Amino acid sequence: MSKPILTAARRALAGAVALSALSVGAETRAEPAKQYFPLATFRVGAYASSGIPVWAGEIDYFRYVNDVEGGINGVKLVWDECETEWAVEKGVECYERVKGGKDGSPVPIFLPHGDPISKALTEKSVSDKIPIVTIAYGRTESIDGRVFPYSFPVVFSFWSEASSTINYIAEREGGKDKLKGLKIATVYHDSPYGKETQTPLAYLAKTYGFEDIQIPVPHPGNDQSAQWAKIRQIKPDYVFLRGWGVMTPVAIKTAAKTGFPVDHIIGGVWSGSEEDVRPAGAAAKGYLAVTPFPAGADFEISKKIKAEIVDKGKSDLKDPKSFGSVYYNSGLDEGIIAVEAIRTAQKKFGVGPINGEQAQWGLEHLDIDDARLKEIGAFGLEQPLKLSAKDHEGGGAGKIIQWDGEKWNIVSNGWVNSDRSLLLPLIYERAAAYAKEKGITPRADATN
């Protein structure tokens, strides 16, 4: 009987040794010239299917930078993964596990990969001086870097997502004046993420004169007969679908079931991937979505990665079908932005591993223009991006893609901009309210 107890004790001891070895190992043994880049991933759990192609895109780009370009100015990237299951506690554990860096190389940027995790890290990141980069998710008001110095909701905030969608509808209807009188229903995941677009849509509705209808879907959204019955009654002109996970295919199928035309449904960023439409089968044909990372395998960088990484068997991708998918390309996007931020920081702080504080400077001075995008080979895949202390978002434009049953095609006229000038004052107002609540003194507009 005492045997299992002994085994348990031995196991516990071994674990304690492993843990202490880990925490010590993080601080000693210096081996510079390599840039550590931890990846918080979710390869199991409810959302694993959307995550797996993202890490593939990101890791493939890192491998491309290492193997083909010889690293960032010679500094090679090293990374390891930590599983979050998209759960907050696990994400926080991962962040704490990796934040000390590895083998003497500091953490430049942490990508939390999950809206709730990013929120839990808002304050921790400030005291640890590690920038939290959230692409197309995260707290919208953290665009104001004067109040949120280490939060970077780069490229496409939820507010820009909503505004781009409205502007696409205007483009399709023939001008912003045509928005007047339209009924636009937003079917959203009833969570903080889903509610983020209520404020900007209400504001835009007032500005342009369309009718803003909000229809919540409770988590996880695997039954939506009531919501779509309501839509059948209201008869909106367009439906803006802001789902997450299983909610999207169910919405598309239920829409078909109730006879709502699928080409008048525009999915949000997290409702616009292959993983969202494939389960819906034929019902998804014609479905639209707004995205900052359009699908496609014909971009310059995609071709290079195909030749140098995928065809040489070095890809992290398990399902070759996912190459060039929306989520794979979002991983490329993330990789490119991270690498460019480190590159920018190296210009000021010298070539070598960059720490969080330096990467924050790099991010705030990030300026990826069309010329640079062409150099990277990401022209068309990614929009020009210019950040500052006042503006941690930068781009704010999306492309509209349409599912033809096999693949996504770009149907918008290039990038559809959002009304950032209209919305930014509102965002700054909210950031100021947060600063007041927390007793934060905002930084100056410009930093060097």
Restricting to residues 247-306, which ones interact with another protein according to CB under 8 A? 249-250, 253, 256-259, 275, 278-281, 283
For position 6 contacting another protein by CB under 8 A, the verdict is no
Would you say 92 and 367 are in contact if contact means Cβ atoms under 8 Å apart?
A: no
Binding to another protein in span 180-199, by CB under 8 A:
190-193, 195-196, 199
- For residue 229, the minimal CB distance to another protein (Å) is 5
Determine which helix (DSSP H) or strand (DSSP E) holds 329, and give its type and residue range. Answer: helix 326-349
- Smaller CB distance to another protein: residue 22 or 68? 22
Any contact of residue 207 with another protein (CB under 8 A)? Answer: no
Q: Rule CB under 8 A: is residue 103 a binding residue for another protein?
A: no
351 binds another protein (CB under 8 A): no
Q: How far is the CB of 23 from another protein (least distance, A)?
A: 6
CA–CA separation, 151 and 111 (whole Å) = 10
423 binds another protein (CB under 8 A): no
Cβ neighbours for 19, distance < 8 A, ≥ 6 positions apart: none
Shortest spacing between CB 123 and another protein, in angstroms: 5
- 152 touches 131 (CB < 8 A): yes
Q: For another protein, which stretch binds (CB under 8 A), given 172-180, 211-219, 384-392, 414-422?
A: 211-219
Instruction: Tell whether the torsion through CA atoms of 76, 296, 317 and 95 is positive or negative.
Output: positive
Of the pair 42, 64, the CB lying nearest another protein is at: 42
Residue bearing tokens 């942490």: 110
Side chain identity at 253, as an amino acid letter? K
| 448 near another protein (CB under 8 A) | no
Q: Within the chain, what is the greatest distance between any pair of CA atoms?
A: 80
- Selected binder of another protein within 19, 33, 68, 307 (CB under 8 A): 19
Q: Tokens at residue 57, please?
A: 């895109």
Closest among 340, 7, 291, 296 to 152, alpha carbons compared: 340
Residue 420 binding another protein, by CB under 8 A: no
Q: How far apart are CA 251 and CA 107, in angstroms?
A: 40
| Residue 58 found at the interface with another protein (CB under 8 A) | no
What does 196-264 look like in DSSP terms, one character per residue?
TTHHHHHHHHHHH--EEEEEEE-TT-S--HHHHHHHHHH--SEEEEE--TTHHHHHHHHHHHHT--GGG
Of 100 and 104, CB closest to another protein:
100
Residue 119 half-sphere exposure toward CB, CA atoms < 13 A: 12
Q: What is the dihedral of CA 235, 238, 240, 243, to 10 degrees?
A: 60
Q: Which of 36, 47, 110, 361 binds another protein (CB under 8 A)?
A: 47
Q: Are 242 and 194 in contact (CB under 8 A)?
A: yes
Residue 418 in the binding site for another protein (CB under 8 A): no
Q: Does 230 bind another protein (CB under 8 A)?
A: yes
In what helix (H) or strand (E) does residue 302 lie, and over which residues does it extend?
Answer: helix 300-305
When asked if residue 80 is in the footprint of another protein (CB under 8 A), the reply is yes
Could you tell me how many residues of this chain bind another protein (CB under 8 A)? 86
Cβ-based nearer residue to another protein, 96 or 311: 96
Stretch that binds another protein, among 68-76, 83-91, 177-185, 341-349 (CB under 8 A): 83-91
- Choose the binding region for another protein from 202-210, 242-250, 355-363, 407-415 (rule: CB under 8 A): 242-250
Q: Which is closer to another protein, CB of 441 or CB of 448?
A: 441
Least separation in angstroms between residue 327's CB and another protein is 11
| Interaction of residue 220 with another protein, rule CB under 8 A | yes
Does 127 help bind another protein (rule: CB under 8 A)? yes
